[in-house]
């Protein structure tokens, strides 16, 4: 029998935003001078929400790829009468345009430098997740935010999605009982793929600038646009991309700041393409009172736990009263241990076209700027969640477990591991001060 026939709609739906700061209707007399660094498809999505909020004057678009820059400019020529200037170098843009708000939507290896530069130039920042490519970059971003007194919002928008908010209320109410384990996962289908030969970068793309502080590697069309997340020179694979969203849900529920011990393993059992990120990975994190497991695959899918047509994603919280699944497109569902109790479910409330809740996160960002109060996904919240993902990748790279001192942000007595908390920058680029 279809389990949906037994689902009881949650009464929490109407209170979905009760844990968020109230948003005032008062608008600023003049719009915020707003700029975008990273004009690809996702940066365009964020900026679209900013423009639609009606409190931004679009002054600049910045990207090292003139093709993306042109496409982005064309999109906003139809959405706003503003005439933003186009830049390749974010430093020049910050100096000339003096934006009050900067959106950083670059590949991960650029987040720290662009975010810190914008903060030092006096701007408030909306920075995409994960906040950094290495752990010490994230600490430098937090320190810069505190030093200059800016508001920095991280793009972990599931902190404001209505079903995530009400789901957290359900978990924190104790209705799932005592939770002893959580399992976060993302499973894709896919096969081995094939090698793609390196080539000359397309006209209009400054590939040297794209690589920036990272190692200068030959251009490959599977790296850009969109493919950078599966190259460890620029990002941290599926754990660094998807992982932060679901690991963040666990930190949100537990109110703990960091794990104490981490072990991760995985590899490339199936993929034979040009990427180098693991095609499957498991990471186990020891927290006070519970264990968190992460797992992902980019092959074989998972029809047994598939939550919508293309993906199996989310977090299972295992409690003494039942199992709670926090999902994405399918909302959340609680399966009681007692067979006489009904399944409880809440549908997702997501915005089209991307099934996200960026506009709510942007509204919270604006409110924080006006009130000088921390936003829902303030920089240190994003740093902690990013760190959990990066610690998993660090253990994977070492091939062994690590012990984490979250207060000092070091791996005690382990010089080999501590070296991976940062990396050498290339050329003119200087590693941010911690």
Q: pLDDT confidence of 415, banded at 50, 70, 90?
A: very high
How does 58-73 read in b/e, with b if 16+ C-beta sit within 10 Å?
A: bbbbbbbbbebbebbb
DSSP line for 336-376: ESSTTSPEEEE----BTTTTB-HHHHHHHHHHHHHHT---T
- pLDDT for 310: 66
User: Which token pair is 165?
Assistant: 């908010």
Task: State pLDDT tens for residues 230-266.
Answer: 999 999 999 999 999 999 999 999 999 999 999 999 9
Which segment of 46-55, 243-252, 350-359, 392-401 scores lowest on mean pLDDT?
A: 350-359
User: Do the beta carbons of residue 227 and residue 356 sit within 8 Å?
Assistant: no
Q: Mean pLDDT over residues 278-303, rounded?
A: 96
Using DSSP bridges, classify how beta strands 322-326 and 332-336 pair: parallel, antiparallel or unpaired.
antiparallel
Dist CA 285 CA 246 (whole Å): 13
Q: Mean pLDDT over residues 209-217, rounded?
A: 98
Task: State pLDDT tens for residues 10-38.
Answer: 434 333 444 444 454 567 789 999 999 99
Q: What percent of the chain has pLDDT over 70?
A: 93
With a cut of 70, say whether residue 391 has pLDDT above it. Answer: yes
The closest alpha carbon to 389, from 180, 153, 134, 144, belongs to: 134
- Number of Cβ within 10 Å of residue 128's Cβ equals 21
Task: State pLDDT tens for residues 110-126.
Answer: 999 999 999 999 999 99
Q: CA end-to-end span of the chain, whole Å?
A: 57
- Looking at the domain that runs over 162-352+379-420, which CATH code has it been given? 3.30.360.10
Task: State pLDDT tens for residues 150-191.
Answer: 999 999 999 999 999 999 999 999 999 999 999 999 998 999
DSSP line for 258-287: --SEEEEEEE-SS--SS--S-SEEEEEEEE
Q: What's CA 112's distance to the chain center, in Å?
A: 14
User: Which token pair is 136?
Assistant: 């010490």
Strand ranges inside 116-234, DSSP E = 124-127, 152-154, 179-187
- pLDDT for 25: 52
Q: pLDDT confidence of 434, banded at 50, 70, 90?
A: confident
Task: State pLDDT tens for residues 63-75.
Answer: 999 999 999 999 9
Dist CA 286 CA 258 (whole Å): 9
User: Which token pair is 324?
Assistant: 């709670």
Query: CA quadruple 98, 99, 100, 106: dihedral positive or negative?
Result: negative
Helices (H), 89-161: 90-97, 111-120, 135-148
Dist CA 198 CA 180 (whole Å): 47
User: Do the beta carbons of residue 420 and residue 397 sit within 8 Å?
Assistant: yes
Q: pLDDT confidence of 302, banded at 50, 70, 90?
A: confident
Q: Mean pLDDT over residues 404-427, rounded?
A: 98
User: Which token pair is 163?
Assistant: 């079903």
User: Do the beta carbons of residue 334 and residue 322 sit within 8 Å?
Assistant: yes
User: Which token pair is 149?
Assistant: 């007194």
With a cut of 60, say whether residue 98 has pLDDT above it. Answer: yes
Q: Please state the domain extents for the chain.
A: 32-158, 162-352+379-420
Q: Mean pLDDT over residues 299-313, rounded?
A: 80
Q: Mean pLDDT over residues 177-206, rounded?
A: 97
Dist CA 48 CA 116 (whole Å): 23
Q: pLDDT confidence of 1, banded at 50, 70, 90?
A: very low
3-class DSSP state of 189: coil
**Cβ contacts of 174 within 8 Å, gap of 6 or more:** none
Averaged pLDDT of the chain: 93
Determine if residue 222 is left, alpha or beta; phi over 0 gives left, psi from -120 to 50 gives alpha, anything else beta.
Answer: alpha
- CA distances for 285 relative to 57, 84, 206, 387, angstroms: 44, 45, 40, 12
Side-chain half-sphere CA neighbours of 315 within 13 A: 27
DSSP line for 40-51: SHHHHHHHHHHH
Determine if residue 102 is left, alpha or beta; phi over 0 gives left, psi from -120 to 50 gives alpha, anything else beta.
Answer: beta
Q: pLDDT confidence of 216, banded at 50, 70, 90?
A: very high
- pLDDT for 282: 98
Looking at beta carbons, which pairs linking 11-18 to residues 24 or more positions away fall under 8 Å? 12/166, 12/169, 12/170, 12/346, 13/162, 13/166, 13/346, 13/347, 15/166, 15/169, 16/162, 16/163, 16/165, 16/166, 16/349, 17/160, 17/162, 17/165, 17/360, 18/165, 18/169
- pLDDT for 225: 95
Task: State pLDDT tens for residues 308-338.
Answer: 666 689 999 999 999 999 999 999 999 999 9
- CA distances for 360 relative to 52, 184, 385, angstroms: 12, 24, 20
**Cβ contacts of 413 within 8 Å, gap of 6 or more:** none
Fold of the domain spanning 32-158: Rossmann fold (3.40.50)
- pLDDT for 28: 78
Q: Mean pLDDT over residues 214-236, rounded?
A: 98
- pLDDT for 19: 42
Q: Mean pLDDT over residues 400-414, rounded?
A: 98
Q: Mean pLDDT over residues 119-146, rounded?
A: 98
Task: State pLDDT tens for residues 339-370.
Answer: 999 999 999 999 998 899 999 999 999 999 99
């Amino acid at each position: 029998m279809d389990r949906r026939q037994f689902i009881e709609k949650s009464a929490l739906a109407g209170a979905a935003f009760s844990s968020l700061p109230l948003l005032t209707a008062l608008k600023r007399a003049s719009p915020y001078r707003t700029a975008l660094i990273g004009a690809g498809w996702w940066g365009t999505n964020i900026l679209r929400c900013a423009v639609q909020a009606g409190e931004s004057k679009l002054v600049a678009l910045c990207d090292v790829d003139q093709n993306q820059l042109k496409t982005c400019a064309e999109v906003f020529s139809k959405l706003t009468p503003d005439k933003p200037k186009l830049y390749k170098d974010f430093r020049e843009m910050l100096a000339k345009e003096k934006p009050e708000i900067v959106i950083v939507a670059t590949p991960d290896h650029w987040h720290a430098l662009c975010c810190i530069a914008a903060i030092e130039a006096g701007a408030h920042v909306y920075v995409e997740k994960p906040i950094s490519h290495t752990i010490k970059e994230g600490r430098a971003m937090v320190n810069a935010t505190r030093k200059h007194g800016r508001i920095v919002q991280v793009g972990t928008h599931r902190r404001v999605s209505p079903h995530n908010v009400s789901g957290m209320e359900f978990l924190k109410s104790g209705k799932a009982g005592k939770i002893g384990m959580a399992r976060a996962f993302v499973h894709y289908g896919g096969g081995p793929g094939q090698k793609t030969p390196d080539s000359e970068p397309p006209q209009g793309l400054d590939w040297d600038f794209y690589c920036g502080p990272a190692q200068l590697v030959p251009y490959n069309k599977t790296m850009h646009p969109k493919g950078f997340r599966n190259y460890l020179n620029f990002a941290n694979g599926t754990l660094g991309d998807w992982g932060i969203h679901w690991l963040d849900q666990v930190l949100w529920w537990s109110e703990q700041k960091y794990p104490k011990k981490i072990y991760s393993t995985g590899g490339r059992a199936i993929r034979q393409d040009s990427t180098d990120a693991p095609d499957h990975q498991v990471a186990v994190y020891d927290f006070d009172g519970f264990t968190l497991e992460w797992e992902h695959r980019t092959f074989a899918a998972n029809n047994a736990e598939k939550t919508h047509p293309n993906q199996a994603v989310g977090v299972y919280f295992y409690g003494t009263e039942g199992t709670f699944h926090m999902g994405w497109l399918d909302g959340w569902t609680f399966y009681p241990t007692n067979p006489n109790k009904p399944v409880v479910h809440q549908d997702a409330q997501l915005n089209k076209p991307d099934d996200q809740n960026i506009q709510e996160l942007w509204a919270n960002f604006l409110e924080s700027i006006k009130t000088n109060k921390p936003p829902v996904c303030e920089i240190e919240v994003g740093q902690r969640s990013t760190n959990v993902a990066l610690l998993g990748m660090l253990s994977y790279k070492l091939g062994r477990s690590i012990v984490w001192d979250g207060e000092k942000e070091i791996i005690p007595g382990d010089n080999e591991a501590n070296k991976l908390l940062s990396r050498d920058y290339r050329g003119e680029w200087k590693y941010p001060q911690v």
